[in-house]
Amino acid sequence: MPTLVRPVVTTLKSLIASSFVLNTLFPVLRQPSILRRWAAIAYANPDAITNELLEILAAPAQDQGSARAFAGVFRATIGINCSLSVKTLLPTLKIPMLLIWGQKDRLVPPVLASQFAQYNENLQLLYLKNVGHCPHDESPEIINQAILDWINKSFPSNSVSLL
């Protein structure tokens, strides 16, 4: 980003991430029609977007403090008041890790997964076809088996099987 543009971008980010703007937007963003649109972006399979799913997504947004939590996540996502980043945190981890990413994720671009994997050799990346941002929900059988296979490979003395 050009040096001249940085202050403008920083000011816009701060304005958008202000408590006033986020608290004003939050009641609108948690409306079922808006949640349905977000789900349509998150899920690769439109059949997965059921009324039950929308109820599950909407419930936490009604809890006390949910607007504050939303604001915190939003600020961290755009890099406002966030001291941790994937780039700084991942290289410090010394444990085996499995990163599962849907190739049809439209919320967080799949290209980021390969970038994240470069930060730590202990990170194994698994791309899944035909799923979006919520692979655990769109393909739970595949996810569960992938996690079990990874555990058994990474920790052979603690083998796990499905009951």
Torsion of CA 141, 146, 152, 153, to 10 degrees: 160
Q: What pLDDT is recorded for position 152? A: 92
Q: What pLDDT is recorded for position 24? A: 83
pLDDT, averaged across the chain: 87
Backbone angles phi, psi at 116, to 5 degrees: -60, -40
Distance CA 35, CA 70 (A): 14
Residue 14 pLDDT greater than 90, yes or no? no
DSSP secondary structure string, 12-49?
A: HHHHHTSHHHHHHHHHHHTSHHHHHHHHHHH-S-GGG-
The domains found in the chain, sorted by start residue, are 6-77 (no CATH), 86-158 (3.40.50.1820)
| CA count, 13 A, side-chain hemisphere, 138 | 24
Q: How confident is the model at residue 162 (pLDDT cuts 50, 70, 90)?
A: low
Q: How confident is the model at residue 16 (pLDDT cuts 50, 70, 90)?
A: confident
145-154 pLDDT, tens digit per residue, is 999 999 999 9
Residue 84 pLDDT greater than 90, yes or no? no
Angle between the N-to-C axes of helices 32-42 and 51-58, in degrees from 0 to 180, rounded to the nearest 10 = 110
Q: Collect all residues with Cβ–Cβ distance below 8 Å to 64 and sequence separation of at least 6.
A: none
**Placement of tokens 């920790």 in the chain:** 155
For 56, 61, 108, 142, the CA distances from 52, given in Å and listed in that order, are 6, 15, 24, 22
Q: What pLDDT is recorded for position 159? A: 61
Q: How confident is the model at residue 72 (pLDDT cuts 50, 70, 90)?
A: confident
Sign of dihedral through CA atoms 118, 119, 124, 127? negative
Q: What pLDDT is recorded for position 12? A: 80
- 1 versus 70: the higher-pLDDT residue is 70
109-126 pLDDT, tens digit per residue, is 999 999 999 999 999 999
